[in-house]
């Protein structure tokens, strides 16, 4: 497997670097270009060059470095520069180890669990709100601003906010106590079976607005004449939604789902502040896992392997989403 | 099948009155053209009939049924939008079947009806195609077919030909008129194009600034406009209107057209007043300058538009347009005589613009 060939970043970089090549190939069987055209091409190449060089340094180089390190057993603890990593070359041992790593797999599974719960929840809530906001109603602008606020909050701050809210003597238990009449003292964040739920609630709170915003943009784009025409043909609201609105915002839906899926895959800051991946490893998602292995265990070559595997998996998810979009 | 009765229909948007106490009856199976410049209230009227907007006052009745409380989907109104509003993400078949499916009809029945409508409109070869990217004439037929499939009692068409190029418009006009006969529905056709209204409609209702100006058959409205607005709006080029004075000569009414000469006035005209002398360009004949009663004028411009020659004449700031046949021998700078057919002369009150021999229009 040559994973770097499949990542979009690598593909972009490759395309950028080899850009002048197909042009020179084309030149052989098209009429000879005028000096002006040749000059224009040269100028274009020169102007694009800085960006291409930058791409080489920030995408291709780290990627190759990562691939290189992932094939060794190198860690900074050896006291050697990473360029010396070949001295501990161990082929695919790291990859084999990842496959056997129970903690990796459960982190991956936990991440999927968060995705499976949060993405549909954010989608349905966002869609519902977007539908409400397509129509005009008094106070719409105020509600709109309020609704978008969570998205603007720095995730770390949101994490701290929910950390406080979910304390056993915190406001959430307070509200639950008032509602149920019982004295609720659930320790949300230190209960292994509830901590992940708390993290999910925080994520849904923060990122439903984004889903709402994207879907609203899609719904506003549905031609009003078509909706009127459908109404005149006797379609109920639900029928209009199913036959006109939904097919028309399909692309937007796919984009929104892909964005949130990829983002939740990388969930870290608010989660780390709320639970630190704990109690134990009960909220350890893939990013938290990588973070811990990197900075606590300093197993850098192993981390490089994990990160590469994640990059490839995410690229596949994204490609799948884009393919769904193309099919329309 | 249904007749439409609008009474006292008024629609205001804030301080703007789009439609002002409109009374109009459209007979069953009639083809009525609602004609007027943009912003005259014709589209608002249409939207109220369809139920897309609620009137500020007045009633809408189909036959004897009050329609104001009937939601737009249940009025039995077929609506063809200006841009056709075709469901471009569906096939032609699905577009036609849409209304039938919304009614939950059995599949076989839907299929039969879709094929019947498609056959009638020549859409059969396109049924399986996606409707995005079809040509404008197919889209228009599809828009009509989609509405026709559910058998509406009333068809409303909102400037359906305004997106079509001029050459094709003539074809579509004929086709539309043919389709109306085919379906036999009551049809209201909104347009700002007087030619469309004249060629297709049984009756024309002319609106201006929210007020109905005149209703009548195309010929009636063309020949006997109730005011200068209607006179100017219909006909191309429009009616010549020149300042004049109504007087009498030997006991007969005559019009003294300022700076040009005298013409016998219609017998019904009497009194003495400032008027506007109206004559259609085609009712002017170009003659020799020495013919008694002829206005002597100079040719300032000649438009040769195929079958007709439009001659622009002027004298002392008064201008007239006359229509002659193809190849009429005339050149800029010629001095000519112009004679108006006395029976075609129309007089309007210079102050109010109302026709002198007509009752003032409603409103």
- Same domain assignment for residues B247 and B219: no
In a domain, B357, yes or no: no
Give me the DSSP letters along A55-123.
Answer: HIIIIIHHHHHHHHHHTB---GGG-S-GGGGGGGB-TTHHHHHHHH-HHHHHHHHHHHHHHHHHHHHHH
Query: Between A227 and A9, whose confidence is greater?
Result: A227
Domain C-terminal end among B201, B229, B257 = B229
Query: Between B353 and B269, whose confidence is greater?
Result: B353
- Same domain assignment for residues B242 and B220: no
- Same domain assignment for residues B197 and B283: no
Judge contact between A144 and A212, C-beta under 8 A.
no
Judge contact between B282 and B310, C-beta under 8 A.
no
In a domain, B165, yes or no: yes
- Predicted structure pTM score: 0.73
- Same domain assignment for residues B202 and B326: no
pLDDT higher than threshold 60 for residue B159: yes
For the ranges A13-17, B9-13, B304-308, which has the lowest average pLDDT?
A: A13-17
CB distance from B218 to chain A under 8 Å? no
Give A252-289 pLDDT, tens digit per residue: 998 899 889 989 988 888 888 888 877 878 888 888 98
Task: Report the pLDDT value the prediction gives residue A16, as an integer from 0 to 100.
Answer: 41
In a domain, B363, yes or no: no
Q: Least CB-CB distance to B81: which of A225, A239, A248?
A: A225
Give B117-132 pLDDT, tens digit per residue: 888 888 889 888 888 8
Q: Least CB-CB distance to A229: which of B74, B79, B89?
A: B79
Task: Report the pLDDT value the prediction gives residue A274, as an integer from 0 to 100.
Answer: 87
Task: Report the pLDDT value the prediction gives residue A31, as an integer from 0 to 100.
Answer: 66
- Same domain assignment for residues B67 and B215: yes
Q: B337 to chain A, minimum CA–CA distance in Å?
A: 55
Angle between helices A300-326 and A250-265 (to 10 degrees): 170
CB distance from A226 to chain B under 8 Å? yes
| CB-CB neighbors (< 8 A) of A253 in chain B | none
Q: A325 to chain B, minimum CA–CA distance in Å?
A: 14
In a domain, B354, yes or no: no
In a domain, B199, yes or no: yes
Q: Least CB-CB distance to A234: which of B52, B89, B103?
A: B103
Domain C-terminal end among B172, B196, B229 = B229
- Same domain assignment for residues B318 and B190: no
Q: B300 to chain A, minimum CA–CA distance in Å?
A: 48
CB distance from B70 to chain A under 8 Å? no
- Same domain assignment for residues B43 and B151: yes
Query: Between B193 and B168, whose confidence is greater?
Result: B193
pLDDT higher than threshold 80 for residue A9: no
What residue in B sits closest to A240 (Cα-Cα)? B102
Distance CA(B185)–CA(A263), nearest Å, equals 57
The residue-averaged pLDDT of B220-242 equals: 90
- Same domain assignment for residues B190 and B276: no
| CB-CB neighbors (< 8 A) of B50 in chain A | 232
Tell me the pLDDT band of A140, cut-offs 50, 70 and 90: confident
Task: Provide the Cα torsion A31, A35, A37, A40; round to 10°.
Answer: 150
Give me the DSSP letters along B233-248.
Answer: HSTTTT-EEEEEEEEE
| H or E segment to which residue A161 belongs | helix A155-165
Q: Least CB-CB distance to A247: which of B72, B77, B89?
A: B89
Round the average pLDDT of chain B to a whole number and report it: 87
How far apart, in Å, are the Cα atoms of B206 and each of B11, B124, B186, B353?
A: 17, 37, 18, 15
- Same domain assignment for residues B219 and B241: no
| CB-CB neighbors (< 8 A) of B77 in chain A | 232
Could A223 and B146 be called an inter-chain contact, meaning their C-beta atoms sit closer than 8 Å? no
Round the average pLDDT of chain A to a whole number and report it: 83
Domain C-terminal end among B229, B257, B286 = B229
Q: List the single best residue of B50, B72, B98, B117 to mutate versus A (max A Cβ within 10 A).
A: B98
- Same domain assignment for residues B190 and B253: no
Give A159-190 pLDDT, tens digit per residue: 899 988 888 888 888 888 888 888 777 788 88
Please say whether the dihedral angle defined by the alpha carbons of residues A183, A184, A190 and A193, taken in this order, is positive or negative: positive
The residue-averaged pLDDT of A216-238 equals: 91
Q: Least CB-CB distance to A233: which of B83, B86, B98?
A: B98
CB distance from A229 to chain B under 8 Å? yes
Strand partners, B325: B308
In a domain, B360, yes or no: no
In a domain, B362, yes or no: no
CB distance from A231 to chain B under 8 Å? yes
| CB-CB neighbors (< 8 A) of B102 in chain A | 230, 233-236, 239
Q: B6 to chain A, minimum CA–CA distance in Å?
A: 20
Task: Report the pLDDT value the prediction gives residue A30, as an integer from 0 to 100.
Answer: 61
pLDDT higher than threshold 80 for residue B183: no
In a domain, B101, yes or no: yes
Q: A-B interface: how many C-beta pairs under 8 angstroms?
A: 55
- Same domain assignment for residues B225 and B278: no
- Same domain assignment for residues B150 and B34: yes
Highest mean pLDDT among B25-34, B128-137, B263-272, B288-297: B25-34
| H or E segment to which residue B5 belongs | strand B4-13
Chain A residues 246-265 with CB within 8 Å of chain B:
247-248
Domain encompassing residue B301 = 236-349
CB distance from A234 to chain B under 8 Å? yes
Q: What is the CATH number of the domain that holds B177?
A: 3.40.50.300
Contacts of B35 (CB under 8 A, 6+ apart): B42, B191, B192, B194, B197, B204, B205, B206, B207, B233, B234
Judge contact between A318 and A259, C-beta under 8 A.
no
Count up the domains in chain B and report the number.
Answer: 2
| CB-CB neighbors (< 8 A) of B70 in chain A | none
Give A10-38 pLDDT, tens digit per residue: 444 444 444 444 444 444 456 677 888 88
Q: Least CB-CB distance to A225: which of B72, B83, B147?
A: B83
Q: What is the CATH number of the domain that holds B240?
A: 2.40.50.140
């Amino acid at each position: 497997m040559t994973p770097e060939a499949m990542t979009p970043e690598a593909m972009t970089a490759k395309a950028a670097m080899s850009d002048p090549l197909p042009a020179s190939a084309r030149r052989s069987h098209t009429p000879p270009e005028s000096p002006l055209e040749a000059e224009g091409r040269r100028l274009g190449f020169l102007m694009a060059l800085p960006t291409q060089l930058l791409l080489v340094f920030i995408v291709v180089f780290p990627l190759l470095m990562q691939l290189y390190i992932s094939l060794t057993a190198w860690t900074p603890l050896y006291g050697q520069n990473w360029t010396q990593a070949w001295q501990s070359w161990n082929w695919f041992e790291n990859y084999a180890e990842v496959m056997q790593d129970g903690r990796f797999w459960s982190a991956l599974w936990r991440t999927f669990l968060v995705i499976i719960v949060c993405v549909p929840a954010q989608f349905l809530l966002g869609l519902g709100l977007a539908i409400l906001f397509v129509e005009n109603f008094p106070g719409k602008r105020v509600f709109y601003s309020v609704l978008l606020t969570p998205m603007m909050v720095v995730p770390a701050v949101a994490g701290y906010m929910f950390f406080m809210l979910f304390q056993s003597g915190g406001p959430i238990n307070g509200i639950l106590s008032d509602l149920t009449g019982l004295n609720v003292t659930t320790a949300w964040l230190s209960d292994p079976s509830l901590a992940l739920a708390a993290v999910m609630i925080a994520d849904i709170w923060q990122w439903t607005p984004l889903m709402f915003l994207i879907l609203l943009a899609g719904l506003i784009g549905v031609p009003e004449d078509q909706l009127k025409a459908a109404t005149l043909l006797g379609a109920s609201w639900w029928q209009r939604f199913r036959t006109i609105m939904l097919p028309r915002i399909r692309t937007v839906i796919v984009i929104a789902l892909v964005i949130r899926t990829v983002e939740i895959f990388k969930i870290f800051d608010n989660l780390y502040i709320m639970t630190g991946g704990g109690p134990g490893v009960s909220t350890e998602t893939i990013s938290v896992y990588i973070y811990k292995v990197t900075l606590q265990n300093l197993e850098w070559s192993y981390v490089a392997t994990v990160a590469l595997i994640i990059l490839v998996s995410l690229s596949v998810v994204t490609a799948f989403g884009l393919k769904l979009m193309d099919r329309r | 099948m249904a007749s439409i009765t609008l009474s006292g229909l008024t629609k205001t948007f804030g301080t703007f009155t789009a439609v002002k106490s409109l009374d109009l009856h459209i007979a069953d199976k009639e083809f009525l053209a609602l004609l007027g410049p943009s912003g005259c209230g014709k589209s608002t009227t249409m939207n109220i009939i369809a139920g897309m907007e609620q009137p500020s006052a007045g009633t809408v009745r189909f036959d004897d049924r009050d329609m104001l409380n009937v939601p737009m989907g249940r009025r039995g109104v077929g609506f063809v939008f200006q841009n056709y509003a075709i469901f471009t993400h569906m096939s032609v078949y699905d577009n036609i079947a849409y209304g039938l499916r919304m009614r939950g009809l059995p599949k076989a029945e839907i299929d039969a009806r879709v094929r019947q409508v498609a056959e009638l409109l020549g859409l059969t070869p396109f049924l399986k195609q996606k409707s995005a990217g079809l040509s404008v004439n197919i889209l228009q037929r599809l828009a009509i077919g989609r509405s026709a499939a559910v058998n509406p009692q009333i068809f409303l068409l909102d400037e359906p030909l305004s997106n079509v190029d001029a050459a094709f418009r003539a074809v579509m006009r004929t086709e539309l008129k043919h389709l109306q006969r085919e379906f036999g529905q009551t049809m209201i056709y909104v347009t700002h194009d007087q030619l469309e209204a004249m060629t297709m409609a049984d009756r024309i209702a002319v609106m201006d600034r929210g007020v109905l100006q005149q209703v009548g058959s195309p010929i009636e409205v063309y020949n006997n406009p109730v005011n200068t607005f209607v006179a100017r709006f219909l006909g191309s080029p429009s009616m010549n209107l020149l300042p004049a004075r109504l007087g009498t000569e030997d006991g007969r009414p005559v019009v003294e057209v300022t700076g040009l000469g005298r013409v016998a006035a219609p017998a019904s005209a009497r009194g003495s007043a400032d008027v506007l002398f109206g004559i259609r360009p085609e009712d002017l004949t170009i003659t020799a300058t020495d013919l008694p009663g002829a206005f002597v004028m100079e040719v300032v411009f000649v438009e040769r538009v195929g079958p007709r020659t439009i001659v622009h004449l002027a004298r002392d700031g008064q201008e007239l347009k006359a229509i002659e046949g193809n190849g009429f021998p005339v050149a800029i700078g010629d001095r000519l005589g112009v004679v108006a057919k006395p029976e075609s002369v129309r007089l309007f009150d210079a102050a109010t613009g109302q026709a002198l021999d007509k009752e003032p229009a409603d409103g």
